[in-house]
Amino acid sequence: MTSLDKLIQEFLEHLEIEKGRSMKTVQNYDFYLKRFCKWAGAKSLKDITQDTVRQFRLWLNRSVKGRDEKTVKSSTQNYHLIALRSFLKYCAKRDMTCLAPEKIELAKQPSRQVEFLEADELKRMLEAAAKTNAILGLRDSAILETLFSTGLRVSELSNLKIDNVNLKRDEFTVRGKGGKTRIVFLSDAARARLKAYLDKRTDPSPFLFASHDRAKAGRQTGPLTPRSIQRLVERYALAAGITKKITPHTLRHTFATDLLRNGADIRAVQSMLGHASITTTQVYTHVTDKHLREIHKKFHGNV
């Protein structure tokens, strides 16, 4: 009988090769599955039972410390279950006797609240970044404008290379989650900021957004990491007097919110965000509430 460890390794390779999942996703699945096996002492598929999974869920919910909370979030608990369910589905397709994947139900989660920037907050952030024409100021301003213009994920932005972006066409193709490609578009402001930044550059780095402080330290100029981009977004939010937590993903939320508030079709927004499912995009529909109130006031009760 194939050992559970070997089966998991084959499953992870299947995710990487056949499914085209990113290495980060593969690493996460590896962590979740190994955490379950270690806790359960599972050595074979027969050790994965419905009761074992239930006890594991209780353990996650009661005993595992979260990053910022006493226990891990329900969404994180669900990630463990999704990994386990995907693994069992893989085993079932190979005609192995195992717990039916559909017997693992995910925990119900509260409606997700999306944090986004209001127009005046976004304006203040962009103005804070545009105060200097030094190379770092031009870069940071271009980053903020590009994030708002395209709705890119921070990892997608970090991996962009200069050759990827066509400033003449104001659009380019990006490879997102699962290796899927989509077209994103540049606003006039984003294109102008990118051009100003690139015209100032003299380094040989092929990446669109380079870590220029490395060059000053005598090291090779590399791309800005997602963490570095997050820090600079936080810095400009603070400079703009914004007290709520702002991340690069907040600008992605703001991008989607702005489109919907201005009448964009949700299917179009789904495509521009690169969401595989319309359900993911529907988290933004609450932002149209204000628009609906305006319509109600305008067209209802005028008798």
What DSSP state is assigned to residue 171?
E
**Which pair of tokens denotes residue 198?**
């690139």
* Direct distance between the N- and C-terminal alpha carbons of the chain, in angstroms, rounded to an integer: 77
| Residues tagged active-site | 153, 177, 249, 252, 275, 284
Sign of CA dihedral 196, 200, 205, 211: negative
Q: Which residues contact 231 (CB under 8 A, 6 or more apart)?
A: none
Q: Which residues contact 211 (CB under 8 A, 6 or more apart)?
A: 221, 222, 223, 224, 225, 228
Distance CA 234, CA 220 (A): 26
Distance CA 178, CA 167 (A): 26
Give residue 37's identity as a one-letter amino acid code.
C
